[in-house]
Amino acid sequence: MRFFLFFLLLCSHAAGVAAANNDKKLRHVQGEIKTLADNLSQLNKQKGQASIELKHVEQQYGKISRTVKALDSQVRLKQRRIDEIQQEMQIQNGWLLTQQSQLAEQVKTAYALGRQEQLKLIFNQQDVNRSSRIMTYYQYFNQARIDKLQRINTSLQLLTNLEEEKLGEKQELTVLIAENKLHQAQLAKSRVERKQLLAKIKRDYKSKNTQLSRLKKNEKQLKRLISSLQKVTRNEVVTKAATGPFYKLKGKLLWPVKGKITQSFGSKRSGGKWNGVLVQAREGTKVKAIAHGKVVFSDWFKGYGLLVIVKHDKNYMSLYAFNQSLYKGVGDRVNAGDTIATLGNSGGRDKAGLYFEIRKKNKPLNPKKWCKKRR
């Protein structure tokens, strides 16, 4: 008995030590995340008020663009429902006219029988069997008229309900359209503000040496960001995909968008080289995750605009930059083909395009060798 009590105490102590160790690890990770957040805050500090305002404007532009897309979708759904209601009402009106016509024929038939009441029909018949048949027919005939009247009433009630629903949908549609117009106006205002800020930034950085220095600094900061993210998430396990390990997907990955590659991996870029590819496509095009993973960064970042980074396993990450709007946040799980953003020109870009990278332990890889061959 004493041995059993001693064993329980020993287990309890071990469990307490394990819990304390887990708490300690958790506090350590939380401390790392805080340090990373502080570092990012420092990394994203811009020289000049114009650059600071650009970050705010592009973030706001992305949010408004996403809202406008959502409102457009709602407007289309409302309009579609109104059209469906209109079609249902046309069908019901057609059916109602048919039933009314048939009812009129029944009334004519009743009139042709001689406008006789049931008792009169019975007493006027000498043959009892025939009287019984006529009585039964009369009851069937009368019941048919009652049933038809009930169906007509049901149809009229349905029409009334459809009319009320149509009115409600139209009222909601009017509100959505008004709200959408307001956001469209805000979007236009943001475009103007962004254009003015970009012009000012270009004046501030018109020297080629200054532009090159800024570009190299941006690349250095991105590398530091990825290193920090790998450090903070090194012990975090990304759930395995049904497709298997990421490295086995080489040559089979989806492209994040369809479009023309205007800058290839390793091509010259203002004294440096492109670490990924630049894909030109229409602004607002959906950007898809190339494979299963977890979002570890989703925010505005200097030189890359609205940026999403997805961790696929302990070694591999994919980056999607210059976005218009972000659709996934930090911690979200994604599968291949999930929409994570919409393509744009944030980060001070003139043309819409997606900057896309794949990295292994912070080493850039050629996306063309990892994604499916383009047709």
* pLDDT tens, residue by residue, 278-320: 999 999 999 999 999 999 999 999 889 999 999 999 899 999 9
Do 275 and 191 contact (CB within 8 A), yes or no?
no
Between residues 18 and 373, the one the model is more confident about = 373
Residue 48 DSSP SS3: coil
Residue 81 DSSP SS3: helix
Separation CA 65–CA 62 (nearest Å): 5
pLDDT at site 131: 55
Separate counts of helices (H) and strands (E) for the chain? 6, 12
User: What's the pTM value of the predicted model, to 2 decimals?
Assistant: 0.68
Candidates 262, 318, 266, 315; CA nearest to 288 is 318
**What contacts 100, CB < 8 A, 6 or more positions away?**
152
Average pLDDT over residues 159-169: 87
Query: Could you tell me the two tokens for 69?
Result: 């897309």
**What contacts 240, CB < 8 A, 6 or more positions away?**
none
**What contacts 134, CB < 8 A, 6 or more positions away?**
121, 122, 125
Half-sphere exposure of 30 toward its Cβ, with a 13 Å CA cutoff?
A: 6
Separation CA 336–CA 322 (nearest Å): 20
The rounded mean pLDDT for the chain is 79
Average pLDDT over residues 207-214: 62
Half-sphere exposure of 26 toward its Cβ, with a 13 Å CA cutoff?
A: 6
pLDDT tops 50 at residue 128: yes
pLDDT at site 48: 54
Do 319 and 289 contact (CB within 8 A), yes or no?
no
pLDDT at site 106: 64
Helical pair 208-232 and 2-43, crossing angle rounded to 10 deg: 170
Residue 168 DSSP SS3: helix
- The model's confidence at residue 5, banded by pLDDT at 50, 70 and 90, is very low
